[in-house]
Amino acid sequence: MAEIEDASKQEFEVLGNNHYPTIFDENIVVAKAYVETTVYDLGGNRTDTRIILHIEEKYVGDDNSMSSFDRGYLFESNNDNSWQLVGFTGTVNLLAK
């Protein structure tokens, strides 16, 4: 299979000495989680429903280098009762400055 070079992609190095927090780390908590349901009127007695699960994590400890940490996930409900990741956001101080 031929590999096609994509000029829009840039390489970056993940710094090996840094810690990338997860929900399993001490002082990382789910700050908020909620479901947002939006019903769209398509006309002619037709509607479409979009269900989004929002999950927000934050750091609640005393480490100043982690004080700005936050992360959010958006999952959309599929017709088969599963969830698909459709968005991700966050702030983390990887250089601990």
pLDDT at 6 over 80: no
pLDDT at position 51 is: 94
pLDDT at position 40 is: 94
- Write out pLDDT tens, residues 25-76: 889 999 999 999 999 999 999 999 999 999 999 999 998 878 888 899 999 9
The CA distances from residue 31 to 8, 25, 59, 76, 82, in Å, are 35, 14, 9, 19, 23
Listed by start position, the domains of the chain span: 28-91
Strand order in the sheet with 70-77: 28-43, 46-59, 70-77, 83-91
pLDDT at position 54 is: 96
pLDDT at position 68 is: 83
Environment class of residue 62 by beta-carbon count within 10 Å: exposed (0-12), middle (13-18) or buried (19+)? exposed
CB of 27 closer than 8 Å to CB of 60: yes
pLDDT at 90 over 90: no
Environment class of residue 13 by beta-carbon count within 10 Å: exposed (0-12), middle (13-18) or buried (19+)? exposed
**Averaged pLDDT, 2-6:** 63
